[in-house]
């Protein structure tokens, strides 16, 4: 399974989301590769992804992907990240 965390620049926020996704996956007992990406390269990075997590502001830019695009309201809220993963995997 491949999951892509997307933010505007792909440097800070998506890396923090990536870390929180990895922690949540470990807690859920799910094995997956997680990648951080900026919005400009996200469509290519998500080309073979199973799931994309991003902000509400960027979700519309990712429309048309072959995988679900899930909005995370607070990238730093571990409970929300766990819930979003549980609901979409």
- Active-site residue identified among 4, 6, 7, 51: 7
Is 7 a known active-site residue?
Answer: yes
**Beta pairing class for 33-38 and 51-54:** unpaired
What are the residues whose beta carbons fall under 8 Å from the beta carbon of 35, sequence distance 6 or more? 2, 3, 4, 5, 18, 45, 49
Tokens matching residue 3: 């999951």
Residues labelled as active-site residues: 7
């Amino acid at each position: 399974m491949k999951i892509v965390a997307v933010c505007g620049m792909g440097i800070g926020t998506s890396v923090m989301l990536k870390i929180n996704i990895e922690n949540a996956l470990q807690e859920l007992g799910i094995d997956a590769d997680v990648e951080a990406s900026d919005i400009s390269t996200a469509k290519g990075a998500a080309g073979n992804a199973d799931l994309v997590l991003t902000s509400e502001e960027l979700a519309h830019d990712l429309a048309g992907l072959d995988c679900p695009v899930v909005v995370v309201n607070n990238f730093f809220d571990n409970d929300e990240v766990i819930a979003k993963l549980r609901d979409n995997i």
